[in-house]
Structure 1
């Protein structure tokens, strides 16, 4: 039986594909206050701005490709039972060949009703004010914003709890509740942490065997495969 591997993937995994990380050091995301464009309050205050912001992110996603890290993660399926739990809203893991991807924060190529959030559907073009779902409600990006519940969190926590190996890649482990997922690891699970600027690992892991690889996502994944897996 194949060992179970869970990948906890963050913005740094997609950075090498040309997608910007979630927010800059000054707290801005692509020049916008994060709470204006990535919170439920921002949506209620200025839906046109929020739609324009995500329309730009969606157009950008059409123009980028998976990078080496995405392909190396997908390649793990040859030897392991792999689940990718990502904070990213892009589809680069899927495009690289990963078959079991849990999106904690939603998906940029999906939309949903603004009043009935369970009605999610594929939508790869712009969303504008006046675009309605079949029930006559304005549609919005299928993104989990600040101030909203993370519906896939329990599913992801279960996957982590079953893993024999956990690979944390491209994330500062500062965004909650996603950062708390590693707390569900079973004590004997091996944990690998790949990031150019790793978080304080004393706060990250209490009892698990831990190997830190200070590198980019692509180079770190290659190093992990060459030296540890």
Structure 2
């Protein structure tokens, strides 16, 4: 059994980190304009405003804690090898709650909020404090070149070769807490299904691409994910 798990903002919502899109219209992008805060053009136009937005999100993340869904996925990742299986954990989230929940080898396709990248030398560093236009790169010493190590709209997600290689081998594909509206991640289920994988959606409510899943489980991630992991490991 080779399980490919894709997680989105819904897996971290109960930890106090808001989702980006939801049917109630209260997601992060309903309150903030992503074109003004999450694009390379926005950063070039007003880096101070972009830094302020991500500083707020970084502080929010540092005060959050992993929930039962993160812990359950870590348990699955830890116990599957002893049963002859393997799990690939890919997240669209830029938080580190999977790692703090006990998971390792997490593939952050949209980057990591607790890291900064230098636009001048390309170095990537841990970043827990606020960033500003006066921040200095620890590697090259230049001022004003650091940006959040996150994938903005219009940029290519990270680790795509590794992701598609894992999708090609997956016997099971599970999407947890995703809207099903952001590509390329929203297309992963179709890729896996075309190769014969059993597909399962775990979400608070049906996603935009719910119809393509073989199995659907709805409810709070902290309830549904541990129950799903228990059933899988006891089967």
Q: Decide: shared fold, TM above 0.5.
A: yes
- How many angstroms does 1:92 deviate by? 0.3
- How many angstroms does 1:19 deviate by? 0.3
SS of the residue 2:125 aligns to? strand
Does the 8 A contact of 2:168 with 2:195 survive in 1? no
Specify the alignment match of 1:174 in structure 2.
181
Bigger Cα displacement from structure 2, 70-79 vs 28-37: 28-37
1:87 to 74, 78, 92: 92
- How many angstroms does 1:10 deviate by? 0.3
1:197 to 205, 213, 219: 205
Cα deviations across residues 166-214 of structure 1 (Å, max 9, x unaligned)?
Answer: 1110001111111112233163322111011122433x35xxxx11001
In 1: Cα distance, 2:73 partner to 2:116 partner: 27
In 2: Cα distance, 1:12 partner to 1:187 partner: 26
Q: Number of aligned residue pairs: give it.
A: 221
- How many angstroms does 1:73 deviate by? 0.4
2:14 to 10, 13, 16: 16
Specify the alignment match of 1:68 in structure 2.
68
Structure 1 residue runs without a partner (length 5+): none
- How many angstroms does 1:28 deviate by? 5.1
Query: Is 1:163 equivalent to 2:170 in the alignment?
Result: yes
Structure 2 residue runs without a partner (length 5+): none
Stretches of 4+ aligned residues off by more than 6 angstroms: none
Give the direction of change, closer, same or farther, for the CA distance of 1:71–1:26 in structure 2 (3 Å limit).
closer
In 2: Cα distance, 1:163 partner to 1:182 partner: 11
RMSD of Structure 2 on Structure 1 (CA): 1.9
In 2: Cα distance, 1:46 partner to 1:124 partner: 22
Does the 8 A contact of 1:172 with 1:197 survive in 2? no
Query: Is 1:110 equivalent to 2:115 in the alignment?
Result: yes
Higher helix share goes to which structure?
2
In 2: Cα distance, 1:154 partner to 1:53 partner: 30
Query: Is 1:4 equivalent to 2:5 in the alignment?
Result: no
Give the TM-score taking structure 1 as reference length: 0.89
Specify the alignment match of 1:130 in structure 2.
134
In 2: Cα distance, 1:177 partner to 1:166 partner: 15
